[in-house]
Amino acid sequence: MSSQRTGLLTLFTLAAIAVTACQAVPAAPAPPAATAQIINPSEKSTAAAAAPTIAATTAESTKAPEATQASTTASTAGGTFTVNGVTMPFKRSETVIMDQGNYSVFDSFNPFIPNGLEFAAGWWQISNEYLWYVNYATGDILPWLADSFSYNKDYTELTIKINKSAAWNDGQPFTADDVVFTFQTKAKDPGALGNPDPDGVVASISAPDSTTVLYKFKTAQPRYHLQFWCRICTGAVVIPKHIWEKQDPKTFKNNPPVTTGPYMFDKAYLRADSASLTDFRQRMPYTLRE
């Protein structure tokens, strides 16, 4: 959560260029020379370009690398380094490389819809947080965005207490209203956004105050709290009401994304030297800022 930020870390995720060296196929013609560009994905007009090179909008261009084959990381002069053909304006010692994999969604961070979020890009894992975490090394259940939970005697009510120090990384407090809003948003269109109550056990959900979430069930539900635990890398996602209540959740790109994690999305860095927009999108490092 934002109150626990320490230090400054520049983080980016990149997609490696696929190389099919295992099959004997005719060599493809060399793509036209192009300049690596820095693209701000929030500019919708940028993503609509059809040419192999897409002009930068709000950021200046990077220097095109001389090598034509994708590389992992290579040090360059002036405190920068090159990764998969894009010269990053950061020192290698200040950068964490999270993942390498082919993907095409780089300007959307909506976890509820098809092609709304590229889960394998790494941003989701480093920036999203959950109510509780399961520590498989120690067996501990760690409270994070929530402090505690409790049931009534017959397990037909569940009360969750929210961590008073939790906040979204745009400075707004994380509250019980966010938890209730997330459930209600998905419940309005469960077929499109994912059913928050697939077993039909929830009678009502409310926020008696800013730090209390109250679930009432139709029948006893002694294990309902388990859905809020993050296991391995993900769990029940909570979205900020103050951002999403103004949007259509089935079309909202959530760009830039607001989470409770310590980093915010900064910009995408795209290598525009391929013959198609699809290949172009598969070469995307991005940075996060504190």
- The pair phi, psi for residue 261, each rounded to 5°, is -70, 170
- Whether residue 261 contacts residue 246, with contact meaning beta carbons closer than 8 Å, is answered with no
Q: In terms of domains, do 141 and 189 share one? A: yes
Q: In terms of domains, do 172 and 217 share one? A: yes
On the question of pLDDT at 19 being above 70, the answer is no
On the question of pLDDT at 26 being above 50, the answer is no
- Whether 22 is covered by a domain: the verdict is yes
Q: In terms of domains, do 46 and 150 share one? A: no
- Whether 38 is covered by a domain: the verdict is yes
- Whether 255 is covered by a domain: the verdict is no
Q: In terms of domains, do 1 and 124 share one? A: yes
CA 44 to chain centre: 19
Q: What angle is formed at CA 8 by the lines to CA 134 and CA 100, rounded to 5 degrees?
A: 65
pLDDT (tens digit, 9 = 90+) per residue, 138-179? 989 999 999 999 999 999 999 999 999 999 999 999 999 999
- Whether 252 is covered by a domain: the verdict is no
- Whether 120 is covered by a domain: the verdict is yes
* Mean pLDDT (the chain, rounded): 73
Q: In terms of domains, do 199 and 91 share one? A: no
What is the CATH classification number for the domain harbouring 222?
Answer: 3.90.76.10
Q: In terms of domains, do 269 and 199 share one? A: no
Q: In terms of domains, do 136 and 124 share one? A: no
- DSSP sequence for 160-228: EEEPTT-B-TTSPBP-HHHHHHHHHHHHHSHHHH--S-TT--EEEEEEEETTEEEEEESS--TTGGGGG
Tokens 């504190």 correspond to 290
Q: In terms of domains, do 119 and 139 share one? A: no
Confidence class for position 104, pLDDT limits 50, 70, 90: confident
Q: Residue 93: its pLDDT value, please?
A: 82
Which of 6-15, 196-205, 228-237 has the weakest average pLDDT?
6-15
- Whether 250 is covered by a domain: the verdict is no
Domain count, the chain: 2
The reply to whether the predicted model has a pTM over 0.85 is no
On the question of pLDDT at 201 being above 50, the answer is yes
- The pair phi, psi for residue 180, each rounded to 5°, is -65, -45
Q: What angle is formed at CA 103 by the lines to CA 259 and CA 73, rounded to 5 degrees?
A: 90
Tokens 């959530």 correspond to 254
Q: In terms of domains, do 71 and 142 share one? A: no
Boundaries of domain holding 189? 132-244
Q: In terms of domains, do 156 and 140 share one? A: yes
Beta strands, E only, the chain = 10-14, 37-39, 73-75, 81-83, 86-88, 95-100, 132-135, 140-143, 146-151, 157-162, 202-209, 212-217, 229-230, 264-270, 286-289
Tokens 């950021």 correspond to 59
- Whether 254 is covered by a domain: the verdict is no
pLDDT (tens digit, 9 = 90+) per residue, 242-270? 999 999 999 999 998 999 988 888 777 66
Determine how many CB atoms are found less than 10 A away from the CB of residue 194. Answer: 14
pLDDT (tens digit, 9 = 90+) per residue, 204-236? 999 999 999 999 999 999 999 999 998 887 888
Q: In terms of domains, do 123 and 266 share one? A: yes
Determine how many CB atoms are found less than 10 A away from the CB of residue 270. Answer: 28
Q: In terms of domains, do 49 and 150 share one? A: no
CA distance 136 to 140: 7
- Whether 197 is covered by a domain: the verdict is yes
